[in-house]
């Protein structure tokens, strides 16, 4: 028997219904805030990801699903959506005539991480990217929007964690400070962190080893080492959030696992999620568009991890079951033939109905109608057929009436009967 690969899963009904409803709610808010949908490819050239996310990140160094195709081209399944959104923004010159553009996307992402609760190798994101504005107003607006999404979903137990990771200028000063600190700790750090301390020191904060984290407790933090402009930007974001009544917690360790971030960085976390506690994350990436070969255009975005978000909502979301309005009880071969036509006509008219393809006796078909929780059944036997009649029965009350088959279909949209 085949099984889905490790860390990859099916979303079965009725869970799929919850997903659809959550996705619709999020997309509605995104559209209300002026974001337009972009559909992005599931695989791209590997270099797009290595260059944008950074070679020293866990995603690129350890987690990409990369392959060479028959033409010897190197591709990777997308581990996230920002790189593709930037690529599309540049490829289609979406920055003309105005650089201001807001896009959202959704779909599966792929990372070869060790599977555990809330961590999958194929997982789903809804992401949003806003290009062309460096104002802190936009940062705050994005966070207001995320709060609204949580409100619309009735999600209450979550926290916004906030940090600023500065810009390359503040970071070059900070880098030296951090490297000096790490140098003194080097013999206590894991091999990865020893390497990172030389190549990309800020990535040491991503290390999952508790031992390394202990050693980093007293390390200098980037938010304490911002230049004037980045500090001012961060102050304004915090003031705007306060003015909008958005609570947040400063987390100086929040550096996000991708290299492209500048200034504002944030995550939405919930204690109900266990170790994998972030159900959304994002931030500014003011340098990425230029780094990818485009004009100098600032941007900010985020992605919601749908698997984690849905797991938070699942217990509380009770959606109506997908039950038929009508069940057709068809007695005898001819009735089944006629009933089948009726079934298709009713469905075409938008009435949810089902029938028994095996055509058992009255009792067994009635049982099936009950099991499917149909509200009505239509009974068609040889006698009814001869007269071109059909019996409409309300399942709960047992009340029935005899109708002409033609009448049933003529009365549009059948509202007279149900």
Which positions touch ligand HAM (CB under 6 A)? 80-82, 111, 113, 118-120, 123, 125, 127, 129, 257, 278-283, 301-303, 305, 307-308
Residues 110 and 79 sit within 8 Å (Cβ to Cβ): yes
Please say which residue, 119 or 345, places its beta carbon nearer to ligand HAM: 119
Does an H or E element contain 82, and which?
A: helix 82-91
CA distance 237 to 304: 21
Question: How many Å separate Cα 77 from the centre of its chain?
Answer: 17
Q: Which residue is nearest to ligand HAM (CB)?
A: 305
Minimum Å gap between C-beta 298 and ligand HAM is 12
Helix (H, G, I), strand (E, B) or coil at 83: helix
Minimum Å gap between C-beta 299 and ligand HAM is 8
Please say which residue, 201 or 305, places its beta carbon nearer to ligand HAM: 305
Q: How many CA atoms lie within 13 A of 391 on its CB side?
A: 17
| Distances 241 to 212, 245, 246, 361 between C-alpha atoms, Å | 33, 6, 5, 66
With a CB cutoff of 8 Å and minimum separation 6, the contacts of 123 are 108, 109, 111, 305, 306, 307
Minimum Å gap between C-beta 85 and ligand HAM is 8
Please say which residue, 238 or 308, places its beta carbon nearer to ligand HAM: 308
With a CB cutoff of 8 Å and minimum separation 6, the contacts of 70 are none
Minimum Å gap between C-beta 31 and ligand HAM is 18
Please say which residue, 127 or 324, places its beta carbon nearer to ligand HAM: 127
Residues 331 and 360 sit within 8 Å (Cβ to Cβ): no
Minimum Å gap between C-beta 160 and ligand HAM is 12
Please say which residue, 234 or 302, places its beta carbon nearer to ligand HAM: 302
Minimum Å gap between C-beta 331 and ligand HAM is 51
Please say which residue, 51 or 308, places its beta carbon nearer to ligand HAM: 308
Tokens of 92: 């289609």
Tokens of 81: 């959506």
| Distances 22 to 36, 39, 302 between C-alpha atoms, Å | 18, 19, 17
Minimum Å gap between C-beta 63 and ligand HAM is 8
Peptide bond into 14 cis (omega under 30): yes
Does an H or E element contain 182, and which?
A: helix 168-185
Minimum Å gap between C-beta 250 and ligand HAM is 18
Please say which residue, 109 or 178, places its beta carbon nearer to ligand HAM: 109
Please say which residue, 284 or 368, places its beta carbon nearer to ligand HAM: 284
């Amino acid at each position: 028997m085949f099984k889905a690969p490790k860390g990859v899963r099916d979303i079965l009904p009725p869970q799929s219904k919850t997903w659809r409803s959550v996705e619709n709610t999020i997309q509605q808010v995104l559209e209300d805030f002026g974001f337009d949908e972009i559909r992005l490819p599931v695989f791209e050239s590997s270099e797009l990801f290595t260059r944008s996310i950074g070679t020293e990140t866990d995603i690129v160094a350890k987690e990409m699903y990369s392959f060479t195709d028959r033409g010897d081209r190197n591709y990777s399944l997308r581990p996230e959506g920002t790189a593709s959104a930037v690529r599309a923004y540049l490829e289609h010159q979406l920055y003309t005539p105005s650089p201001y553009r807001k896009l959202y996307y959704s779909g599966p992402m792929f990372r070869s991480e060790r599977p555990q609760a809330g961590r999958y190798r194929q997982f789903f994101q809804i992401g949003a990217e806003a290009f062309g504005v460096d104002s802190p107003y936009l940062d705050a607006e994005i966070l207001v929007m995320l709060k609204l999404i949580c409100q619309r979903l009735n999600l209450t137990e979550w926290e916004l964690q906030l940090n600023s990771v500065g810009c390359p200028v503040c970071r070059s000063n900070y880098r030296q400070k951090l490297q000096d600190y790490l140098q003194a700790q080097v013999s206590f750090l894991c091999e990865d962190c020893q390497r990172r301390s030389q190549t990309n020191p800020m990535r040491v904060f991503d290390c999952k080893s508790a031992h390394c984290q202990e050693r980093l407790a007293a390390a200098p933090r980037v938010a304490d080492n911002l230049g004037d402009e980045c500090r001012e930007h961060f102050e304004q974001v915090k003031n705007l959030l306060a003015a909008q009544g958005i609570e947040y917690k400063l987390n100086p360790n929040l550096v996000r696992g991708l290299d492209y971030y500048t200034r504002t960085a944030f995550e939405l976390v919930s204690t109900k999620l266990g170790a994998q506690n972030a159900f959304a994350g994002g931030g500014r990436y003011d340098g990425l568009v230029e780094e990818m070969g485009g004009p100098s255009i600032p941007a900010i975005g985020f992605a919601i991890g749908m698997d984690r978000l849905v797991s938070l909502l699942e217990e509380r979301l009770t959606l109506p079951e997908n039950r038929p309005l009508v069940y057709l009880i068809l007695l005898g071969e001819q009735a089944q033939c006629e009933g089948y036509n009726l079934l298709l006509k009713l469905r075409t008219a938008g009435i949810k109905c089902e029938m028994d393809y095996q055509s058992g006796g009255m009792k067994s078909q009635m049982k099936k109608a009950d099991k499917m929780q149909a509200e009505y059944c239509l009974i068609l036997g040889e006698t009814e057929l001869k007269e071109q009649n059909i019996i409409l029965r309300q399942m709960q009350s047992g009340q029935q009436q005899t109708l002409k088959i033609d009448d049933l279909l003529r009365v549009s949209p059948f509202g007279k009967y149900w």
